Amino acid sequence: MNDPVILHQWHVVGIDEELKAGAVKATRLLDRRLGLKRDAGGALSAECDDGHPLPLLARYGFLWTTLGTPERPLFDIREADEPDRVNVVTGSVAVRTSAPRCIENFLDMGHFPFVHTGLLGEEPHTEVKEYDVRIDEEKDEVIATDCRFYQPRAAAASAGGADIEYIYRVPHPYCAVLYKSCPFDRGRFDVIAMFAQPMSEEHTFAHTLMSVVDDTSSTTDIRHFQLSIFGQDKPILENQLPRRLPLDPRAETPIRADRSSIFYRRWLRAKNVAYGTLAQAG
């Protein structure tokens, strides 16, 4: 592991409520084995396989640590703290691919009609309309705005489909946050986040969070929905080759619909992210 950018990041390593008081849990991060611990008094700590103590903090329902010394605190998701929202930890799924492949798939709308048929998209409504992507230099994030995509049964009240508005944020090389127009409260957004835990360069634990304004669905319903969505992505991700995300523009064939992915790859390349990526095509 000689990627200082990734080394000095906060990384997700588990679900907060799964680590009970007095319990220890083992996990993997950046090819190292870690032990996570919550003592009887509730204090969190972690240890690396070489005996080094590591910081451990709880945020957004998940546990986070670092093997380096991060320059900045963990990124902010303001909405998660709004009092009338339900924050649901929607599960963790092991995926046999790199963390950046998981993030890129999370940013992609074009696959909705083919992979999430009947849920997030449906043929023949396949067009990805023009949208804006930029890199916010100050916050050091990739931001895609004005994204619209047809979703069947978009409104809770009606059976018909409609265009849903999306905003995507990539505040961390392995984390992305999606804001999606809310069917229950127009003008507000549901928030869905993907936090990818890089166990190794080609083994990832994909954790998802949903922060929603929804007083009708139970936590279990929300969890089932998100897991069934990711269950459709997993076989695609595991059949994507090479597993590490190619940063060379000539490795694959981008189209206009892929502008958020093009910006994400460029951003990783500019940062010199090497872990989980490939610099050269061929």
Partner 1 sequence: MALTDDQKRGWHPVASSTDLAPRHVFHGRLWGQELACWRADDGHVNVWVNRCLHRGVRLTIGRNLGHELLCQYHGWRYANRSAGCTYIPAHPADAPARTVCSHVYPSLERHGLVWVALDGDAGNAVIADIPAGGTLLRQMSVAVAHDTVRRALEAGGAAGCSPFHFRDEARALTLFLQPVDAGVTVIRGILDAGADADIARLRALDHEFAMLRDRLEREHPDVPQPIAAEFRPVSEELAKVPERRRRGSTRRMRVERKWCVAPDVMAFRLVPIDGPLAAFQPGAHVDVHLPNGLVRQYSITNGPDDTTGLVIGVKRETDGRGGSAALHDTVQEGDVLALSEPRNNFPLRRDQLHTRLIAGGIGLTPLLSMARTLRLSGVSFELHVFARSREGLPFADELKALGGAVHVHTGLDAEASSAAFARILADQGEKEELYVCGPPAMLDTVRGTAAGAGWQDDQIHFEYFANERKLDRSGSFTVALARSAVTVEVPSGRSIVEVLREHDIDIPTSCEKGACGTCRVDVIEGEIDHQDVWLSDAEKAANRCMMACVSRGRGRIVLDL
Strand duo 277-278 + 245-246: pairing: parallel
Q: Tell me the residue type at 153.
A: R
Q: Is 255 in the site for partner 1 (CB under 8 A)?
A: yes
- 183 lies in the binding site for partner 1 (CB under 8 A): no
- Binding map of partner 1 across residues 235-254, x = CB under 8 A, - = no contact: xx--xxxx---x-xxxxxxx
For the segment 95-114, give every residue that binds partner 1 (CB under 8 A): 110-111, 113-114
Q: Tell me the site size for partner 1, rule CB under 8 A.
A: 33
> Least distance to partner 1 from the beta carbon of 226, Å?
20
- Tell me which residue of 61, 13, 59, 60 sits closest to 37, measured CA to CA: 13
Q: Quick one: which H or E segment has residue 106?
A: helix 99-106
- Single out the residue of 124, 137, 159, 187 in contact with partner 1 (rule: CB under 8 A): 124
146 binds partner 1 (CB under 8 A): no
Q: Are 231 and 62 in contact (CB under 8 A)?
A: no
The answer to whether 125 contacts partner 1 (rule: CB under 8 A) is yes
Residue among 82 and 132 whose Cβ is closer to partner 1: 132
Q: Would you give the DSSP letter of residue 154?
A: -
Q: Are 28 and 47 a contacting pair, CB within 8 Å?
A: no
Interaction with partner 1 in 2-21: which residues (CB under 8 A)? Answer: none
Residue 178, strand partner residues:
168, 192
DSSP state of 10: -
User: Measured on CA atoms in the order 159, 163, 169, 170, is the torsion positive or negative?
Assistant: positive
Residue 61 or 152 having the CB closest to partner 1: 152
The answer to whether 265 contacts partner 1 (rule: CB under 8 A) is: no
* Cα–chain center distance at 193: 5
Distance CA 95, CA 234 (A): 6
282 binds partner 1 (CB under 8 A): yes
269 near partner 1, rule: CB under 8 A: no
* Among 46, 128, 175, 182, contact with partner 1 (rule: CB under 8 A): 128
Which chain residues interact with partner 1 by CB under 8 A?
A: 110-111, 113-115, 123-128, 235-236, 239-242, 246, 248-259, 262, 281-282
